[in-house]
Structure 1
Amino acid sequence: MRLLVVGAGSMGRWFGRTVDADLAFADANPDAAVAAADELGGRAVPLDGDEQFDVVCLAVPMDLAAEAVEANAHRAERGMCDVTGSMSKPVAAMREHLPDRERLSLHPLFAPVNAPGNVACVVDESGPLGDALLDDVSAAGNTVFETTPEEHDTAMETVQAAAHAAVLSFGLAADDVRAEFTTPISAALDELVSAVTSGNPRVYADIQSSFGDGTDRVADAARDLAMADDETFADLYRRVAHRDDETDNHEPAE
């Protein structure tokens, strides 16, 4: 399989490393494409070239996904996939610009350094090349599960936008305190803050822009807690405690 990966960052390199293909990389930064090709045994090609490949994989920022589909559709002889992290917009763009070719959207739900893990998958138009790519992703130890663009993007409002907003909000609100005052919960939150802030702020900004309803819900929930009287606070607490049909017999965690 002749595979072009558009986007030579960490996710593009993860995909190139994971699948079995003759690799080429293109990137807005030509040096990044060269570095990825040297690392993984492929070659670098111009971002605006016309050379065609069996499959084109888009590993670009989420806000550029639909644009990248249109710009690279002519280079994909048999199919296109993306690992951009959103699904509704790239899948819609692939349907428009590649109506007669294989179409696949993947979202690895982890940073590449934490691979393997869960990979959300939309097989919008199946075929042998997409099947081969999915087999390679699974063979690398990942758990691939099918979803829809709508289900995926709605879930990302919670598991990405809301989660990141809650963690970063704690980081912004927290004061420096002596280590002796640390509790199990505050220590866990400190670890989460460190994990989130060790990444690329552009990635997290893209998530907030794409799935911002989750962030708004976190802000609304924090406001409700801040304004609640004792009885209302207890009701809100119980609502969370019973979310998964748990009992109300929780002991204090600290």
Structure 2
Amino acid sequence: MKYMNVGIIGGSDGLGKTLVYYFRDEFTVYISARDHKKGRAVAEELNINYIESNAGLANISDILIISVPIQHTSDVIREVAPFMKDGSVMIDVTSIKEEPSNTMKEVLPETVEYIPTHPVFGPRTTELDNQVIVLTADKKGKWYERVYNYLANQNMRIIETTPEKHDFMMSIVQVLTHFSFISTAYAFEKLKVDINETEDYESPIYNLMIDVIARIVAQNPYLTYNIQSMNSNGPNIRNTFADAVLELRDVINNADEDEFVKIAIKATKNMGDIKNALGRSDKAISALSHEYGLLHKSVGKEVGLKHIYSGKIHVGVLESVDGKTAVLKSGNKTKNLRIANIDVLSDAELQEWKIHNLKHEKQSISCVFSKNVNVNVIEDTVLNMDNIIDIRLIDAYNGPQIDENSISLTFEVEALSKSDIENVIKLFTGFGGTIR
């Protein structure tokens, strides 16, 4: 599949733009966009190609990906279908599959394959590894195996199903959950709740719940609305949810404890593997607690903090940590970083960053040791010191100026600073050596 043209209609935003990052190193990538100025800017930023015409893009693409808002997907498919290359493949990435699948089947010629897909992750996802992708092809041509193998090589979790089954499952995974989360957030707003103030009283589970709700409601509201309105299962799902809420409300308002317990038990039994769910949530809570604990223990020390989205690494002395922010000082500059958006580098990762990003110091050190000194022990000990990059023996001398029971060894030491090299000199004298 290498050396092929991949065209992405809608490649300047959202998932379409994210796909560029995954494909640009392996394929020749072209994008188009409604906003040509923005599209050209994104293409220049990502070092890919821009084409103004969707039809022109379809005409040169071996793989054409439709990544536009759900409500426009079928229109775009109809627009570009006549211009697709013989032997090419069309892929859409919308979260509704019945309508685009039917449209592709209707308008594409026999010489063009189509694979309706749904990557079940958002544009903020930085790795394909272990992410879910659903394929709903009604027939499998030569492209299907190629695409399947490519996704499998990315270690993705591939689900093969029908468009109808996909849309029903998405009515649970997306329609029901989004509807309930947005309803909860809307209730917060109607109650005029200060979420920041509630965090003073929060439990770890509440913290996780708020983060999940915030993640959903922060999505593009037009996309969220179309997920709700364009899934044919939506009305039944929302009505069932509303019925459940009203029934539970009435049971509690009527002080019917027995009925409440029955409902809670029935709901719990239907939740599947509760032990697994508890284990996963315990892991999430533990990870959050560990990160906060690690940061608090590191106050006053040098740390490396990696931004989980940009990948940029900030190194400096951690001045303070509160519930949401880590304050990092580097030289005369102070940086406030949101804790939710950073990972703490391990000591080994921080050392690796320093080696590749900071200026190095080199110095030759000559030292007289006892003749039976073990050079390997000296080198291994030095390499285990902080901020030492390399050490190598460059000379060994046992001439007239050196006692017959001694030997002069010269090492070239590479370190991150002069003070680190001074520490090596102190180590040599600690081994009983005499600096020449």
Shift of 1:25: 0.9
Read off the aligned partner of 2:216 and give its amino acid letter.
V
Separation of aligned partners in 1, 2:54 and 2:271:
50
Decide whether the 8 Å contact of 1:157 with 1:215 is kept in 2.
no
2:247 to 202, 218, 224: 224
Q: Pairwise mapping of residues 22-33 of structure 1 onto structure 2 (< 5 A)?
A: 22-33=28-39
Shift of 1:41: 3.3
Decide whether the 8 Å contact of 1:34 with 1:44 is kept in 2.
yes
The answer on 1:67 being equivalent to 2:75 is: yes
2:121 to 75, 91, 110: 110
Read off the aligned partner of 2:132 and give its amino acid letter.
N
The answer on 1:138 being equivalent to 2:152 is: yes
2:268 is aligned to: 241
Task: Please state whether the residue corresponding to 2:62 is helix, strand or coil.
Answer: strand
Separation of aligned partners in 2, 1:106 and 1:119:
7
Tell me which moved more, 172-181 or 116-125: 172-181
2:21 is aligned to: 17
TM-score, length-scaled by structure 1: 0.87
Question: Percent identical across equivalent pairs?
Answer: 22
Read off the aligned partner of 2:27 and give its amino acid letter.
A
Separation of aligned partners in 1, 2:40 and 2:143:
25
Structure 1 or 2: larger helix share? 1
The answer on 1:5 being equivalent to 2:8 is: yes
Separation of aligned partners in 1, 2:141 and 2:273:
44
Q: Which has the higher contact order (CA 8 A, sep 6+)?
A: 1
Q: Cα deviations across residues 134-165 of structure 1 (Å, max 9, x unaligned)?
A: 33333333222211101110011111111111
Separation of aligned partners in 1, 2:150 and 2:17:
14
Task: Please state whether the residue corresponding to 1:144 is helix, strand or coil.
Answer: strand
Decide whether the 8 Å contact of 1:91 with 1:149 is kept in 2.
yes
1:157 is aligned to: 171
Separation of aligned partners in 1, 2:44 and 2:52:
15
Separation of aligned partners in 2, 1:133 and 1:13:
19
Read off the aligned partner of 1:120 and give its amino acid letter.
V
Larger Cα Rg: Structure 1 or Structure 2? 2
The answer on 1:129 being equivalent to 2:143 is: yes
Shift of 1:169: 1.4
Shift of 1:227: 1.5
CA change 1:50–1:245 in 2 (3 A) is closer
Tell me which moved more, 149-158 or 9-18: 9-18
The answer on 1:91 being equivalent to 2:94 is: no
Separation of aligned partners in 1, 2:157 and 2:272:
27
1:168 is aligned to: 182
Shift of 1:35: 3.3
Separation of aligned partners in 1, 2:201 and 2:258:
28
Separation of aligned partners in 1, 2:17 and 2:200:
42
Gap runs ≥5 in structure 1: 248-254
Aligned residues: 247
CA change 1:151–1:235 in 2 (3 A) is same
The answer on 1:210 being equivalent to 2:237 is: no
Tell me which moved more, 135-144 or 221-230: 135-144
CA change 1:47–1:225 in 2 (3 A) is farther
Shift of 1:62: 1.0
Decide whether the 8 Å contact of 2:181 with 2:217 is kept in 1.
no
2:211 is aligned to: 191
Gap runs ≥5 in structure 2: 275-436
Task: Please state whether the residue corresponding to 2:246 is helix, strand or coil.
Answer: helix
Shift of 1:246: 6.7
Separation of aligned partners in 2, 1:86 and 1:226:
32
Q: Cα deviations across residues 42-75 of structure 1 (Å, max 9, x unaligned)?
A: 2111235445022321001111111111111123
